[in-house]
């Protein structure tokens, strides 16, 4: 039985002149939409597999060769697939690729990071907003301010593009929401997108291979922990409120004690997982031995991993952490 919210949404689609953006829909909503255009629910599964299934990742309805001619033409008439307009792909010397896409309100960036040739592990870093409202001191995106949230389709399509780009080197194995934007400031769309990414009939990524990184929006963090089984990384970056207030202004609203307290409580509901903590080392600001000692005490009792030292990737194309949204990075490669 349809929920009343779904029924209302279907009525809107049925009456609307506007095309339905398929990648905005959860599987349940896609089923309802397929029914609303006069077809059986079972057709939705075939459509879903063409949108997200291994090796398919359709960019157009014409690529959905196994659908009946009639169904395809109705889908073509009433729905749209592509919402991103890729304007540029930069490739760094280490193989990292940064994809710049035009959307309403500006451009967004997606970074594809091959782990090592032949190892079959490729990570894609997706954006969740145009700009960001959080204003972290060390981050270029933060200086842009927030332009708007991305839709579910705009987030999911970044993964579709990355899958197509990496098809010959093993496909995408990991997704991190660490591109432009604070993902949990756009919780509705990020939760729906993350859940699409792990759906067993689609991308079928493992929950622990899809990681949402947050600066520490506590209520939305709690919500995410309850509505998705995907991994959570917290950008910690300081061991005292004084320093964190300065480098991450969100700490003035949700301080270290409320952030870490929330994680202690939420881990009870996620018994087989651990949280990740990210820590950008800023010389003379947060990298003293006292910081190291305080960090150990702060995270005591939380099942966690303080992120291993990362080799910066894609620096020569401004695709590394904290560099997204830099105008210089959006110029054509020389």
57 or 140: whose CB is closer to ligand SF4?
A: 140
Scan residues 298-327 and list those touching ligand SF4 (CB under 6 A): none
Answer for which of 24, 43, 101, 215 binds ligand SF4 (CB under 6 A) is 215
Return the range that interacts with ligand SF4 (CB under 6 A); candidates 131-139, 158-166, 192-200, 223-231: 131-139
Report if residue 134 touches ligand SF4, rule: CB under 6 A.
yes
Q: How far is the CB of 28 from ligand SF4 (least distance, A)?
A: 31
Q: Which residues of 157-190 are buried (b: 16+ CB within 10 A; e: fewer)?
A: bbbbbbbbbbeebebbbbbbbbbbbbbbbbbebb
Return the range that interacts with ligand SF4 (CB under 6 A); candidates 129-137, 224-232, 257-265, 270-278: 129-137
Answer for which of 23, 78, 175, 181 binds ligand SF4 (CB under 6 A) is 181
* Cβ(217)–Cβ(182) below 8 Å: yes
Pairing of strands 146-149, 85-91: unpaired
Return the structure tokens found at 10: 């279907």
Report if residue 136 touches ligand SF4, rule: CB under 6 A.
yes
* Helix spans in the chain (H): 4-15, 27-36, 42-52, 69-78, 140-143, 152-165, 187-197, 218-227, 241-247, 256-266, 289-298
In DSSP terms, 130 is beta-bridged to 148
The answer to whether residue 220 is catalytic is no
Answer for which of 13, 47, 71, 142 binds ligand SF4 (CB under 6 A) is 142
Return the structure tokens found at 161: 């593009």
Answer for which of 22, 125, 139, 225 binds ligand SF4 (CB under 6 A) is 139
Compute the distance between CA of residue 325 and CA of residue 334 in angstroms, rounded to an integer. Answer: 18
Write out the catalytic residue numbers: 109, 321
Where do contacts with ligand SF4 occur on this chain (CB under 6 A)? 132, 134-136, 139, 141-142, 180-182, 215
């Amino acid at each position: 039985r349809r929920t009343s919210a779904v029924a209302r949404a279907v009525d809107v689609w049925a009456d609307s002149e506007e095309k339905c953006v398929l990648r905005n829909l959860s599987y349940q909503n896609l089923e309802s939409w397929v029914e609303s255009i006069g077809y059986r629910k079972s057709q939705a599964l075939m459509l879903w597999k063409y949108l997200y299934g291994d090796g398919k990742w359709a960019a157009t309805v014409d690529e959905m060769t196994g659908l009946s001619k009639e169904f395809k033409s109705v889908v073509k008439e009433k729905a749209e697939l592509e919402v991103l307009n890729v304007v540029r792909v930069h490739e760094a010397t280490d193989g990292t690729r940064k994809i710049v896409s035009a959307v309403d309100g500006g451009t967004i960036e997606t970074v594809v990071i091959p782990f090592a040739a032949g190892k079959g592990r490729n990570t894609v870093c997706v954006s969740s907003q145009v700009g960001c409202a959080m204003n972290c001191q060390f981050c270029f995106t933060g200086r842009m301010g927030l332009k708007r949230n991305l839709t579910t389709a705009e987030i999911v399509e970044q993964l579709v593009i990355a899958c197509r780009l990496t098809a010959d080197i093993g496909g995408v194995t990991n997704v991190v929401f660490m591109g432009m934007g604070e993902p949990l400031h756009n919780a509705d769309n990020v939760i729906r997108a993350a859940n699409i990414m792990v759906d067993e009939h689609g991308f079928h990524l493992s929950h622990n291979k899809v990681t949402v990184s947050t600066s520490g929006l506590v209520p939305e963090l709690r919500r995410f922990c309850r509505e998705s089984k995907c991994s959570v990384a917290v950008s910690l970056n300081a061991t005292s409120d004084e320093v964190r207030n300065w480098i991450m202004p969100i700490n003035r609203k949700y301080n270290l004690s409320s952030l870490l307290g929330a994680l202690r409580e939420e881990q009870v509901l996620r018994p087989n997982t651990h949280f990740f903590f990210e820590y950008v080392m800023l010389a003379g600001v947060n990298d003293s031995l006292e910081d190291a000692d305080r960090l150990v005490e702060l995270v005591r009792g939380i099942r966690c991993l303080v992120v291993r030292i990362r080799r910066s990737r894609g620096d020569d194309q401004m695709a590394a952490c904290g560099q997204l949204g830099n105008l210089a990075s959006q110029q054509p490669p020389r």
